Amino acid sequence: MTPEIEVSRDLDEMSRRAADRFVEAAEETVAGRRPFYAALSGGSTPRTTFSLLAGTDFALRFPWNSTRFFQVDERSVPPDHRDSNFRMIREAMLDRAPLPPEDFHRMRAESADLESAAHDYAHEIAVALHPLGGLWPRFDLIQLGLGPDGHTASLFPGTAALEEEKRWVVPNHVTKLSTWRMTLTYPVINAAREIIFLVDGADKADVLRRVLYPESPEDRFPAQGIAPREGQLRWYLTESAARFLPKRS
């Protein structure tokens, strides 16, 4: 499927469109009489979308009781730490949304044994999504962001997780940040029915152009590895992030 690109005036307009898409995708899935499985990223850009979902304009439309949230990636900090992706999602959405606590699956990336924690998280995904033997688990929607270095999830340039072809969830050491992360891997992300990128900010404009319109061998970035095998890819962009992209008629 051809990736869709939608450019919005600013973060608020982009977030409203993204929240609308979350609701539509959830309603479409639940209409098929099964839960809606979605995986959420961290960082700052999705905060407004998550906050809108739990707010007056969207909360009544969203099927909270039929939704199961997972995390795309997490930093190796406790869940109340300021850098915690879980904390951002909790403060933006979970503290106000009528989602049963057991239906948000937190990545325990603060664990001293990240390898076991990653394995346990993959098991949680298996129990919930129960893919048929040998198949990849299929999330209904995975929300991603884009870093100024072209990373997405915690798939950073030059890191081991980029090469993972078997495991669903891995610890990933990010040398330039001198830290460990936990992240879903390309095979799981690319098995999703739908992947939406949320990208905002002038600091993303150059890398976004090079990710979407590579011009030289140097234009190789982890975000380019996101290509759903049988799903839809959507880019939600703000004008500031999209300013170097070719104008669309």
Task: Please report, as ranges, the residues that interact with ligand 6PG according to CB under 6 A.
Answer: 41-45, 72-73, 75, 85, 145-147, 151-154
Query: For ligand 6PG, which is the closer residue by CB, 35 or 228?
Result: 228
Give the residue among 89, 208, 194, 189 at the shortest CA–CA distance from 147.
208
| Strand 179-184 versus strand 169-174 pairing type | antiparallel
State how far the alpha carbon of 66 is from the alpha carbons of 11, 32, 93, 139, in Å. Answer: 28, 11, 16, 14
Minimum CB separation of residue 98 from ligand 6PG in Å reads 25
Q: In a 10 Å sphere around its CB, with 0-12 CB exposed, 13-18 middle and 19+ buried, how is residue 98 labelled?
A: exposed
Q: CB nearer to ligand 6PG: give 98 or 148.
A: 148
Residue nearest to ligand 6PG as judged by C-beta position = 145
Q: Please list, in sequence order, all residues whose beta carbon lies within 8 angstroms of the beta carbon of residue 155, skipping any fewer than 6 positions away.
A: 161, 162, 172, 183, 185, 186, 222, 225
CB of 3 to ligand 6PG, least distance (A): 17
By C-beta, is 72 or 99 nearer to ligand 6PG?
72
- Phi and psi torsions of 96, nearest 5°: -115, -10
Nearest approach, Cβ of residue 43 and ligand 6PG (Å): 3
The CB-of-47 to ligand 6PG minimum distance in angstroms stands at 8
Torsions phi, psi of 85, nearest 5?
A: -65, -35
Q: How far is the CB of 63 from ligand 6PG (least distance, A)?
A: 24
Based on CB atoms, which residue is closest to ligand 6PG, 75 or 106?
A: 75
Residue whose CB is less far from ligand 6PG, 75 or 209: 75
